[in-house]
Amino acid sequence: MRRKKQNGSQQPSAPFDPKYAKPKVLLIDLPAAALDLLHRAGFNAFWGTFGSPYKVPLGDLYRRAAVSPSLPSYSEQEIIMIDLTPPTTIGPPQEEHRTHETEFDWWGKCSRGEIDPRPAIMREVRDDFDRILRHGGLFVVFAQPRSTPNLVRARVQHGQLDTRDDVRPDNWSFLSILSPRDLEITSDIGEEIEVPEEDYELFRFLRTAIPGATYTATFKLACYDAREHWTPLCWNKFGQCVGGLFKPEDSKGRLLIFPQLSRKAESVVHFLREVLPEISPHLFPHIEGPRWVQRDEYELDTVRQYKAEKLKVHEKAKGDLDQLDTKIAGEREKLGFLHGIITGTDRDLVTAVKACLEHLGFKDVVDVDEEAPKQAPGRRRQEDLQIRDRSPVLLLEVKGLSGLPRESDTIQVQKYVQRRMKEWDRTDVRAVCIINHQRNLPALDRDNKNVFTDQQIEDAAINDITILTAWDLFLLFGGMTRWGWGPKSIQELLYHPGRMPRFPSIYEPIGEISHYWDDISVVSVQIQGGLRRGQRVGYVTPRGFLEETVLSLQVDNQDVEEALPGVKAGMKTGYARDLLPNGTTVCVVTHAKECGSMVSGR
C-alpha cells in the first residue's frame, strides 16, 4: 500500500533478527504483547493496524475519510492474524488525502460523530489477501459482529457528491469468502462456549484457550455450495456456531474464526508453536517433525539402494534431455526461416521466403538486391525475388504488413513484370505477391480468411498475379514435411493466377464437414465428389493439414464402399472434434507418398 505510516508504540525498539525466516506473520490490531512474545519465540513477526475510528463534528454531511493504516509488507505475509475489536476512538486526525476531491476516494458520513476508516482499508487489501489464502496462506480472525459504517466511494462533481452505491465495505471486507452473501454473521453475546471432545490438536488448543473467553457473534453459512469446506469449531449453549474453520477448494489455505480469547497474546504464541504446524505444515519449513528418520544415517538399506537407482535415472534423463535440447536447437537453426516468414518484414522477410522456396525444391531462386551490382542511389526499385526454374519466370514481391494489404500492395508487382519483359525481350514472365499480414499478431489470431478483398482477387486473376500469405506458405511447408508430399505439389501453386489455392495440388476437394458425432467419432460430409472406402483423405484446417485413410463409410446408416456425389456420408475419424470444426474442407489425396505419420495409425 502507498500508506506506510508507522505506529511507533507498537513496533520493536531495535532491529529484530528472527530465528525462523518462515513463516512471515502479520498481527493486525492485536495486543502489542503478542508481538513481543512471538519475537522471543524466534518468529518473523510484524505488527500492523487498519487504523482507528476518529471523531468528527456531528451532522448529516459527508467528509473525506482520513486513512492511516500500517500494514508492513502485507502482500507477502503467510500468516495473518486479525482482531476485529475496534481500537479506541481518537481525536480528529490531521487529514491527509490521497487524491483530489474530484477523483473517487472514501467519504464518511458524520451522523455518528465519528468516522471508522478501517473497512475502507480492508476492502482495498482484499485482492491481495484473497491471493494469500488461495496460495496456501492462513488467516486467524478474532471475531466481532458485522458492522457497516457509512462509508462510500465518491467524488465531487459540479458541486455535488457523486457516489458509487455498489461499494459498501464492512469490517469483514478483507476476504471475499466473508461477504454477506457467503457468511451470515449475527450479533450475540455470551460466555458459555462448548468445544467438541475430539482428540485433535486444534480442539485441544480451544479447550485450553476457551475458559474466560466471550463470543460476540454467531456464524452461519449463507452459501450452500460451501458447506463441505466449513467446519464449526465451537458453539454457544443454544447450538449456534461461534467459531469455525474454512478450507478453500483446491488450496492449502485456511481461515480460522475464533471468539474473543481472554489471554490472547499467550494463546497466539501457543497456537503458532504447537497447533499451526499440524494444520499447515507447509508454512513451517524449519519444523522437521518425525521426518528426521529419513535422514541418510537412519534410512533403511533398501531405501538407500532405491535412492541410488533414482539418482542414476535422473542423471540419464538429464543426459537425454540435453541431447533433445541440442536437437531442438539444431532444428530451429536449420528451419528458422519458417518463423521468419510469419514474423518478418523488409530484408529479413525476403531472406526467409527465399530459404523457404529453396526448401520447397526450387533450384534457381534469386535475391534481386544481392544479385544486382551496386548502383547509384535513386535507381528504380525492382522485385524482391525471382524463380527461374522453368517458364514462366516468376517475379516475387514480398511484404510484411502490420495490417491487411491494400490494393496497391497486391498489384504493385505487375509493373516489374512489364519492365522485365522489355529488358529480357520475352513474354513468359509472371508475378507473385506474398503478404505477411498482421505480422505483429500470432498467426492464428489474424484474419486469415479475409486477407484479400474480392476486388484484389479479381484484379490479381486478370493481371496473372498469384497472391498468397506467408501463413499459407508456412502451413504448406508443414504439411509437406509431415505427410511426405512431393515438392511439385506445392511448387505448382505459385503458377496459379488469382488467390493461390491453400492446399497442395494433390488434394482434390470433395466436400465439407457439416457435423461431428462425439460419441462415435464420426464426421458427416456433404459429398460433392466421389469417395471410396480405403482412399486417403486430407482435412484443410485453420492450423494446417491432417490426413487419414477412410476405414469406415456409411450412407443412411448403412455401410457402403463408395459415397456418390450429392449424398451425405458418415466417415469414421481418429481426430478429435476440436481439430475438425464444422466447415472444414475434406479432400481426396490423389498421389500421396507413403510416409510415417506423426499420428499413430493414420
Nearest to 273 by CA among 36, 38, 35: 38
The owner of cell 474466560 is 212
The answer to whether residues 435 and 303 touch, using CB atoms and an 8 Å cutoff, is no
Calpha distance 408→404 (Å, rounded): 12
Q: Residue 1: its pLDDT value, please?
A: 45
* Pick from 92-101, 203-212, 300-309, 545-554: least confident: 92-101
Q: Quick check: 95 pLDDT over 90?
A: no
pLDDT grade for 314, boundaries at 50, 70 and 90: confident
Q: Residue 374: its pLDDT value, please?
A: 52
Q: Quick check: 8 pLDDT over 70?
A: no
For 337-376, how does the pLDDT look when each residue is reduced to its tens digit (9 = 90+)?
A: 999 999 999 999 999 999 999 999 999 999 998 876 554 4
Residues 6+ away with beta carbon under 8 Å from 112: 58, 149, 150
Q: Residue 27: its pLDDT value, please?
A: 96
In the predicted model, what is the mean pLDDT of the chain?
Answer: 88
Q: Is 263 exposed, middle or buried (0-12, 13-18, 19+ CB in 10 A)?
A: middle
Q: Residue 380: its pLDDT value, please?
A: 67
Nearest to 61 by CA among 158, 160, 170: 160
Q: Quick check: 295 pLDDT over 90?
A: no
Q: Quick check: 5 pLDDT over 80?
A: no
Calpha distance 61→223 (Å, rounded): 37
For 439-466, how does the pLDDT look when each residue is reduced to its tens digit (9 = 90+)?
A: 999 999 999 999 999 999 999 999 999 9
Residues 6+ away with beta carbon under 8 Å from 233: 195, 196, 202, 203, 206, 241, 243, 244, 245, 256, 257, 258
Calpha distance 356→475 (Å, rounded): 12
Q: Residue 9: its pLDDT value, please?
A: 37
What's the grid cell of residue 243? 467459531
Q: Quick check: 431 pLDDT over 60?
A: yes
**Helical H segments across 15-136, by residue range:** 32-40, 118-134
Q: Residue 190: its pLDDT value, please?
A: 95
Q: Residue 224: its pLDDT value, please?
A: 66
> Phi-psi bin for 148: left (phi > 0), alpha (psi -120 to 50), beta?
beta
Average pLDDT (247-266) is: 92
Q: Residue 94: its pLDDT value, please?
A: 73
Q: Quick one: what percent of the chain has pLDDT higher than 90? A: 65
Average pLDDT (3-27) is: 64
Burial 167-199 (b: 16+ CB within 10 A, else e): ebbbbbbbbebbeeebbebeeeeeeebebeeee
Q: Quick check: 479 pLDDT over 90?
A: yes
Q: Quick check: 212 pLDDT over 50?
A: yes
For 139-186, how does the pLDDT look when each residue is reduced to its tens digit (9 = 90+)?
A: 999 999 999 888 888 888 888 888 876 678 999 999 999 999 889 999
Q: Quick check: 594 pLDDT over 60?
A: no
Q: Residue 293: its pLDDT value, please?
A: 67
Q: Quick check: 521 pLDDT over 60?
A: yes
Q: Residue 382: its pLDDT value, please?
A: 87
The owner of cell 524466534 is 42
For 568-578, how does the pLDDT look when each residue is reduced to its tens digit (9 = 90+)?
A: 999 999 999 99
Q: Residue 369: its pLDDT value, please?
A: 86
